């Protein structure tokens, strides 16, 4: 298993950093899970749609530079299919057998650029609700940990 969680923005608050670090530590028992961040760009107070598109494009270019040609890319999007924890676990088993690195991409506050979405091999939604990208990162880490526990046949509270 080789997974990369690729995110726009840094975790500024200590509690988000601590939660992410804890799940990364727990995931280490099951294989290599890496987290990489690219800079989020400031949005001007009275940004136009063109300004927002340009920001997303630049953030997207930074994300795409971190993605390798053979990677299996999963874009986290609010309008994508949702999975149960059990289904995610089985999907991860399939990805593990395929051998390619799986890259989960979490956009910034404006979302993911069209270029990143076009590069994605799959899309995944954590919920139809909108969450801060910091929380989405921790939620994804927790779900990956839960899926790995399921695959290992270990108990995890419900």
As given in the structure block, the two tokens for residue 47 are 């940004």
pLDDT bin (cut points 50, 70, 90) of residue 158 is low
Beta bridge pairs of residue 72: 102
37: left (phi over 0), alpha (psi -120 to 50) or beta: beta
We find that the CATH architecture of domain 2-43+57-133+141-151 is: 3-Layer(aba) Sandwich (3.40)
Residue pLDDT, tens place only, 112-151: 999 999 999 999 999 988 888 899 999 999 999 999 999 9
Q: Given this model, what pLDDT does residue 133 score?
A: 84
Handedness of CA 17, 135, 79, 81 (dihedral sign): positive
SS (H, E, C) 42-76: CCCCCCCHHHHHHHHHHHHHHHHHCCCCCCEEEEE
pLDDT above 90 for 156: no
Query: What would the pLDDT profile of 65-88 be if each residue is shown by its tens digit?
Result: 999 999 999 999 988 999 999 999
The pLDDT score that the predictor gives to residue 130 is 84
Q: What is the pLDDT of residues 4-51, one digit of tens each?
A: 999 999 999 999 999 999 999 999 999 999 999 999 999 989 999 999
For the residues 108-115, what does the mean pLDDT come to?
94
Tell me: pLDDT of 157 over 70. no
Please count the other Cβ atoms lying within 10 Å of the Cβ belonging to residue 87: 12
For the cut 70, the answer to whether the pLDDT of residue 1 exceeds it is no
């Amino acid at each position: 298993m080789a997974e990369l969680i690729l995110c726009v923005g840094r975790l500024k608050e200590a509690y988000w950093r601590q939660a992410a670090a804890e799940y990364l530590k727990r995931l280490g028992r099951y294989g290599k899970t890496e987290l990489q961040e690219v800079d989020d760009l400031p949005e001007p107070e009275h940004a136009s749609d063109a300004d927002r598109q340009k920001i997303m494009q630049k953030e997207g270019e930074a994300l795409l530079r971190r993605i390798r040609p053979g990677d299996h890319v999963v874009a986290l999007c609010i309008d994508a299919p949702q999975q149960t924890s059990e289904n995610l676990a089985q999907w991860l088993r399939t990805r593990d057998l395929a051998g390619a690195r799986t890259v989960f991409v979490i956009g910034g506050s404006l979302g993911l650029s069209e270029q990143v979405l076009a590069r994605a091999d799959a899309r995944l939604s954590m919920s139809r609700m909108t969450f801060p990208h910091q929380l989405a990162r921790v939620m994804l880490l927790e779900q990956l940990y839960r899926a790995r526990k399921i695959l290992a046949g270990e108990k995890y509270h419900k």
